[in-house]
Chain A
């Protein structure tokens, strides 16, 4: 596990397995404290990171590389960046929106994670080059995190 502190953010790499979530949540708490971000935002950051990290683990089976997570604070926002190396392209921003108004008999879990990410972030972007997927999310810090209002 690598660890590198830069001017304002913190970056760490995690093994591509679901059991890495505990370490990821600890890292998020540590990063937010280091960036002097209110812990009220921790729920939202954990949610978006879990949803996208688990997607990478489940669907990019061809890679054995660790997944990098970086958290920065910029202009009243949190910038959360996940980087997945040696993978095929999958643009999460193009994933179809789910219909949350369907009745229980027609509901399935598919697509719910991306829907939640879209709901609680201010922006979501995807970049793919040299077999590397990079997902960036902006989360508004003030006045209240969108996921907890």
Chain B
């Protein structure tokens, strides 16, 4: 299960699992984001290639519009998936 919401500080928090069964939920939310965005991943327990693909599409869309997408409080296991995918150089992952 994945929960996405906009926090009071304007960050978007992801909680739960971003797997193939949750990509439609994630996509419908992330497609509506406008402007530079920070994703708070403190509660994100898991991500697969399907989840990464959704974030990749969002990053491309925002960058094409001159904005950025930053991922913060990413746990080590999720961070490793980005590293194995070679995306730690493309995404801002903290």
Q: Is A21 in contact with B19, judged by CB distance below 8 angstroms? A: yes
How many residues of A sit at the interface, in one of the four size bands?
Answer: 20 to 34
* Binary per-residue interface labels of chain B (69-90) against chain A in the complex, 1 for a CB within 8 Å, 0 otherwise: 0000000110011001111001
Assess A22 versus B21: contact at CB under 8 Å? Given A116-B85, A148-B80: yes
Q: Is there a chain B Cβ closer than 8 Å to A109's Cβ?
A: yes
A104 near B60 with CB under 8 A, answer yes
CB distance from B53 to the nearest CB of A (A): 4
Q: Are A148 and B76 neighbours in the complex by a CB distance under 8 Å?
A: yes
How many of B's residues come within 8 Å of A, CB to CB?
Answer: 24
- Assess whether B39 is interfacial by the CB under 8 Å rule: no
Give B40-94 interface residues, CB cut-off 8 Å to A.
46, 48-50, 52-53, 56, 59-60, 63, 76-77, 80-81, 84-87, 90
A115 CB to nearest chain B CB (Å)? 7
A112 contact set on B, CB distance < 8 A: 49, 52-53, 85
Given A100-B85, A104-B90, A148-B80: A113 and B21 interface contact (C-beta under 8 Å): no
Interface residue? A60 (CB, 8 A):
no
Q: Does any Cβ of B come within 8 Å of A143's Cβ?
A: no
Asked if A13 is at the interface (CB within 8 A of a chain B CB), the reply is no
Residue pair A103, B90 in contact (C-beta under 8 Å)? yes
In the bound complex, how far is the Cα of B19 from the Cα of A47, in angstroms? 9
Closest residue of chain B to A57 (Cβ to Cβ) is B20
Asked if residues A50 and B19 are in contact (CB atoms below 8 Å), the reply is yes
Shortest Cβ gap from B84 to chain A (Å)? 4
A62 CB within 8 Å of chain B: no
List the 4 closest pairs (A to B, CB-CB), nearest first. Answer: A100-B86, A109-B53, A113-B49, A112-B49
Binding site for A on B (CB under 8 A): 1, 17, 19-21, 46, 48-50, 52-53, 56, 59-60, 63, 76-77, 80-81, 84-87, 90
